[in-house]
A and B are shown apart, each in its own frame.
Chain A
């Protein structure tokens, strides 16, 4: 199924966006960076002072000198602690701000996705982006980015300090550079895919478990216990293979970098000793340099270990930004519809090239008419419904309202003319009132009540403990699928477009109650055009005209009585429903 049709941003786009975000708050950024730099500098005082202390001790200089140095060490520690507190706070504040902006932008872009994309993409990919990718990016922005930044700043200053101690003392450390460089490059090249695979395999495993749990009764009914065990064991085996791969990478990389860390310490000590013996450097310089080199390990290690997290964050950002790249599906023209007559002429449509699901449909829907569409599943009713609602443009032919192509209307205008309700039944988290108000945010409670009454939902809505204020949706009061469909219809009643396309909009409602609902709805919608893709035959019976759709064509069209009299497919079905003939 087409679950991967949303684009992903390219590297240049990600970089440009990251740059824009970073530079958007230059003052905050400057403040955070300078605080971190000052903190790093004050952290570098101790080794230097300790070096002097060792020298003082070796030289046997007086107590006062020792006390001063020790006090200075303590002083710098206090200064560093205060600066770190301020620096971390400043960068976190900035990070949170940027992060909030990022996710808000993303949600706004999602809310602006073209109708046709929303209908086609399915929610899987988009849900992954809103949950997993936003999470991954949050981790990056909250931890990886600032930690890396701090570590880089610290590294730079530690190196600077090392050079200040004596440029010659920095030479031994260079030995480690190729070891660290080569092994880390090797690792990073493979790590990202490895960890993505690992996470995916782990998610499959936990998903498999929840599937077994949620379907426990089905598992027992079908006797597929063994299969479920095999599925779990198979998932585990795949997860283990993925874990083993990344473990293999770390088995090479970890010892390489650790050796890479110890080499400079030893080299500084050893070469420093030789230089000292030659009288080129002092004891204080060797001690300070050795401690600086040791102090470099921690920030360096942090930079290296956040690298893959940064990569993951970058990939997530690419997926979030990708949503912007969805091309708009309609170019609004200037023409305004003259009247509400909906007209399809010679319409064809294909989801996959060369596989037309509609073959030249002609259909005129008169303003104020109730038209029922019936036909076997897969015949193209829903597709035709979506074309009549202006969600997709036809492959060939045209769908017009009042003489203007639906796909050439601006979205807001389109909504005023025609709206679609499908059998999908999403209940938004919020109050019952809010769920209905989506249709018309400025409606009064009376309007809401009338809309709910029109769909037979007022009785149960009123009976809820807090009435319209009851919280529904995820985590709130449970609303049955049938009630959810009623809410969807109530929303539409409130929105009050001229034409309503109902695609099996009452399919989840008990057939015994559905007919009553449809009749009360019809009373409210009097004068509006209603195109109902019918699930039950009484919908067709109650309509002004019935269109029978078979194999992408309208095979019969007329009033219920005409079609029954004509004795075609519809008549046969109707008779069977009523227990007459066969």
Chain B
């Protein structure tokens, strides 16, 4: 059979005005698989619903000794079994397809929204909030779609059985039809304590898992200086708490299991007793008695599905609400529509508020008395925050954001390394040649990192580059920024986590690597400052002095205090 291929190239524009509208949108964009799946689910349930009736007829034929009728009804049961098997698996395929379609599309639109929000995202949303979309919400939204199939089918099955039972024997039919929902509902009071205890157990188990990863995360420390017994004892203590919580869950769970046997069982016994008397009176046949017995047992399944449907749709709604909240945000900084004149990008970049002026084609260093000032200035220069900044005389707020980002790259230490092939992660714009990458690595003193990797540039970077040390990550980030080769590069403390030898080498090489390009380095390292073409010193938000590092050391007491603090 043919199968739709996922993901879709363009997930489309979601309707995020409300959770219901979002779910409706997800359903609408895959209406065909959904409708076909619903049709199959109905057939699947019907095939199951008709089995008891056929079984009853077969038993009657058996009792009456009509062998050819028995063969016919046996064939019918087999036929229903085959239909059930075929529609069952087809329904399952469409169910999986709609489940995946819904979750994949939600991941796609959330990813696209995250990249649209960019720097705004961390300010407006906690990462946990967005990440939970990937961890649980997509599954809930998928479940809500999937249950549409089974739920609709279950509804039709219940209706069909109702008709069959009432037309066979109205009083017995009524007993079954009233009794089964009552029995399904009667376990309800057990569900709340069960969910509460399960919840408590999950929380404790979450704590225990955190404790375990805490031990693993700090294992170097524990194995290095001790404390194993202490941590082992604590883990044991929490593990026993989880065990006790598990036993508490089991006590309700086992009661529920018992109830799920008792309640339908009692009903079945009642139906059988009543049915047997009806059969004795000749109001129904022995076969129909068996059929009633089987129906009372069968009806539990579709009714549970309907209860499950209510639960899944509710959870899907909650998940969709979270997705909608994310989707309805807009980036804080909006771009203009002006175009930048051809040579403006290689012209002066100037922050009006502080007076910081970055000369074209030079390596400028920025020293601020407190680190927060540097962050505020670079946020304005990179247009992450509003300000009066001009590039080549053009105000940044008149330019589209993409344009600003293309010309001005602000590289800070919070920047993230992404998973992937190292070569690709270093050349993010995809424009650098192998030589460019090599040069960037050399300038950032990161060649030794690549050499130590068995696969070199083809090595796989793990999540957030966590397998690299802090200093290695910093050098790789620097190499990445250099390889991107923007017109204006703003580096924030690019050497704070490397040793003095390496720092000196990097400082020597950055100038060469950025020859003819505009570069601003925020740093307090004398090794780097000494190699800058020009140093700007900012105090209280304004440029206080500028000149060469050594001139400022002599002339500006505030500067030398900042740079050589504690140097004695």
Tell me if A270 is interfacial: C-beta within 8 Å of chain B: yes
Contact A81 B258 (CB under 8 A): yes
- CB pair B410 A221 closer than 8 Å: yes
Would you give the 0/1 interface string for B382-411, flagging 1 where the beta carbon is closer than 8 Å to chain A? 101000000000000000011001100111
Interface residues of A in 202-227 (CB under 8 A from B): 205-225, 227
Asked if B220 and A426 sit within 8 Å, CB to CB, the answer is: yes
Per-residue A-contact encoding for B478-510, CB less than 8 Å = 1, 0 else: 001000100000000000111111101100000
Q: How far is the CB of B50 from chain A (nearest CB, A)?
A: 13
Contact: A535 with B280, CB < 8 Å? no
Taking A209-B111, A415-B225 as contacts, is the C-beta distance between A429 and B214 under 8 angstroms? yes
A67-B273, A78-B262 known; A266 and B77 CB under 8 Å? yes
Contact residue range for chain A? 35 or more
- A92, B459: Cβ atoms under 8 Å? no
Interface residue? A272 (CB, 8 A): yes
Q: Which of B7, B121, B253, B445 contacts A88 (CB 8 A)?
A: B253
A129 to B217 Cα, complex, angstroms: 13
Q: How far is the CB of A437 from chain B (nearest CB, A)?
A: 8
- How many chain B residues touch the partner (CB < 8 A)? 170
Q: Tell me if B222 is interfacial: C-beta within 8 Å of chain A.
A: yes
A162: min CB distance to chain B, Å: 17
- Interface pair B416/A214, CB less than 8 Å apart: yes
Q: Check if A232 is an interface residue, CB within 8 A of chain B.
A: yes
C-alpha gap A82/B85 in the complex (Å): 35
With contacts A104-B236, A251-B93 taken as known, whether A70 is within 8 angstroms of B214 at the C-beta atoms is no
A365 → chain B, closest Cβ, in Å? 19
> Which of A54, A80, A258, A291 contacts B81, CB < 8 Å?
A258
Chain B residues closer than 8 Å to A115, beta-carbon distance:
223-224
Instruction: Among A232, A473, A497, point to the contact of B111 (Cβ < 8 A).
Output: A232
B467 at the binding interface (Cβ < 8 Å): yes
Contact of B212 among A57, A131, A244 (CB under 8 A): A131
Given A60-B280, A100-B242, CB of A82 within 8 Å of CB of B497: no
B113-130 CB contacts (< 8 Å) to partner A: 114-122, 127, 130
**Stretch from A22-30, A306-314, A416-424 at the B interface:** A416-424
Contact B215 A111 (CB under 8 A): yes
Stretch in B165-173, B286-294, B350-358, B434-442 touching the partner: B286-294
- Cβ distance A140 to chain B, nearest Cβ, rounded Å: 14
Decide if A185 is an interface residue (CB 8 Å cutoff): no
Residue of A nearest to B82 (CB): A259
Query: Does A216 lie within 8 Å of B77, measured CB to CB?
Result: no
Query: Are B115 and A77 in contact, CB atoms less than 8 angstroms apart?
Result: no
A273 — which chain B residues lie within 8 A by C-beta? 58, 61-62, 67, 70-71, 74
Assess the B5–A240 pair: CB atoms within 8 A: yes
CB distance from B420 to the nearest CB of A (A): 7
For residue B524, which residue of chain A has the nearest CB?
Answer: A511
Q: CB distance A92 to B254 under 8 Å?
A: yes
Contact with B along A377-411 (1 / 0, CB 8 A): 11100000000010100000000000000000000
The answer to whether the Cβ of B134 comes within 8 Å of any Cβ in the partner chain is yes
A288 to B137, CA, bound (A): 47
Contact (Cβ within 8 A) A578 B526: yes
15 contacts between A and B (CB under 8 A): A1-B453, A85-B254, A111-B223, A115-B224, A130-B212, A208-B111, A209-B110, A212-B115, A218-B414, A223-B429, A237-B6, A254-B92, A269-B77, A437-B230, A438-B221
Majority SS of interface residues in chain B?
A: helix
B467 contacts A131, C-beta separation under 8 Å: no
Binds A, one of B263-271, B341-349, B359-367: B263-271
Decide yes or no: A131 and B89 within 8 Å by CB, A222-B484, A236-B108 being known contacts: no
A536 within 8 A of B: yes
Are B500 and A536 in contact, CB atoms less than 8 angstroms apart?
Answer: yes
- Roughly how many angstroms separate A214 CA and B72 CA in the complex, as a whole number? 65
Partner of A250, one of B89, B259, B409, B464: B89
Q: Which residue of A lies closest to B402 (CB)?
A: A223
Contact B265 A130 (CB under 8 A): no
Complex interface residues of chain B between 192 and 250 (CB less than 8 A to chain A): 205, 208-228, 230-232, 235-236, 239-240, 242-243, 246-247, 249-250
Write the chain B residue with the least CB distance to A514: B566
B469 at the interface (CB under 8 A from A): yes
* With A126-B219, A220-B118, A220-B405 as contacts: A50 and B293 at CB distance below 8 Å: yes
* Contact yes or no, A508 B463, CB < 8 A: no
Q: What residues of chain B lie closer than 8 Å to A516, measured between beta carbons?
A: 566
Residue of B nearest to A43 (CB): B261
B62 partner, pick from A276, A439, A491, beta carbons under 8 A: A276
**Could you tell me the distance between the alpha carbons of A412 and B208 in the complex, rounded to whole angstroms?**
28
Say yes or no for B35: interface residue by CB 8 A criterion.
no
Which chain B residue shows the least CB distance to A574?
B500
In the bound assembly, the distance between CA atoms of A21 and B539 in angstroms comes to: 69
Decide if B512 is an interface residue (CB 8 Å cutoff): no
Given A124-B462, A273-B62, A492-B225, check contact A534 B500 (CB 8 Å).
yes
Name, among A118, A220, A255, the residue most crowded by chain B CB atoms within 10 Å (CB to CB). A220
Looking at the complex, which one of A58, A69, A80, A250 makes contact with B261 (CB distance below 8 Å)? A80
Chain A's nearest CB lies how many Å from the CB of B552?
A: 10
Alpha-carbon separation in the docked complex, A352 to B240 (Å): 43
Tell me the minimal C-beta distance from B299 to chain A in angstroms: 15
List residues of chain B with CB within 8 A of the CB of A504.
471, 499
Q: Would you call B433 an interface residue if the criterion is a C-beta within 8 Å of the partner chain's C-beta atoms?
A: no
Q: Are B268 and A507 in contact (CB under 8 A)?
A: no
Closest to B119 in A: A217
CA distance A419 to B445 in the complex (A): 30
Set B130, B279, B415, B525: member contacting A57, Cβ < 8 A: B279
CB of B328 within 8 Å of the partner chain: no
Closest to B468 in A: A1
Cβ of A57 and Cβ of B280 under 8 Å apart? Answer: yes
Closest approach, in angstroms, between the C-beta of A518 and any C-beta of chain B? 10
Residue in B84, B236, B401 whose CB lies within 8 Å of A258 = B84
Q: Assess whether B375 is interfacial by the CB under 8 Å rule.
A: no
Alpha-carbon distance A448/B179, docked complex (angstroms): 68
B120-148 Cβ-contact flags toward A at 8 Å (1 or 0): 11100001001101110010000000000
Tell me, rounded to whole Å, the shortest Cβ–Cβ distance linking B526 to chain A: 5
Known A58-B286, A429-B214, A504-B471; judge A240-B250 contact (CB<8 A): no
Assembly CA distance A82 to B82 (angstroms):
37
**B452 close to A (CB within 8 Å):** yes
Query: Do the beta carbons of A223 and B246 come within 8 Å of each other?
Result: no
**What's the minimum C-beta distance from B445 to chain A, rounded to whole angstroms?**
7
Chain A residues near B320 (CB-CB < 8 A) = none
* B250 pairs with A96, CB closer than 8 A: yes
Nearest first, the 10 A-B pairs at minimum CB distance are A220-B118, A262-B81, A77-B265, A92-B250, A70-B273, A85-B258, A378-B448, A215-B416, A81-B262, A206-B134
* Residue in contact with A243 in the complex, picked from B100, B246, B280, B505, CB distance below 8 Å: B100
Contacts A251-B93, A274-B67, A429-B210 given; indicate if A73 touches B269 (C-beta within 8 A).
yes
Q: Does A457 contact B (CB under 8 A)?
A: no
Question: Is B428 in contact with chain A by the CB < 8 A criterion?
Answer: yes
CB atoms of A233 and B108 under 8 A apart: yes
Task: Find chain B residues with CB under 8 A from A85 CB.
Answer: 254-255, 257-258
Chain A residues 55-74 with CB under 8 Å of chain B are 56-58, 60, 63, 66-67, 69-71, 73-74
In the complex, which residues of chain B have a beta carbon less than 8 angstroms from the beta carbon of A100?
A: 239-240, 242-243
- Bound together, the chains give a CA A54 to CA B459 distance in angstroms of 73
Interface bits A479-513 vs B (CB < 8 Å: 1, else 0): 00000000010011001010000001001101110
Known A-B contacts: A89-B254, A124-B466, A223-B405. Give 15 more (CB < 8 A).
A1-B467, A53-B289, A57-B286, A85-B257, A216-B114, A216-B117, A218-B416, A218-B418, A233-B9, A237-B6, A240-B5, A270-B74, A290-B55, A497-B225, A537-B500
Contact with A along B317-334 (1 / 0, CB 8 A): 000000000000000000
Query: Would you give the 0/1 interface string for A258-271, flagging 1 where the beta carbon is closer than 8 Å to chain B?
Result: 11011101100110
State whether B277 touches A66 (Cβ < 8 A): yes
- A269 and B74 form a contact (CB under 8 A): yes
Q: Does B527 contact A (CB under 8 A)?
A: yes
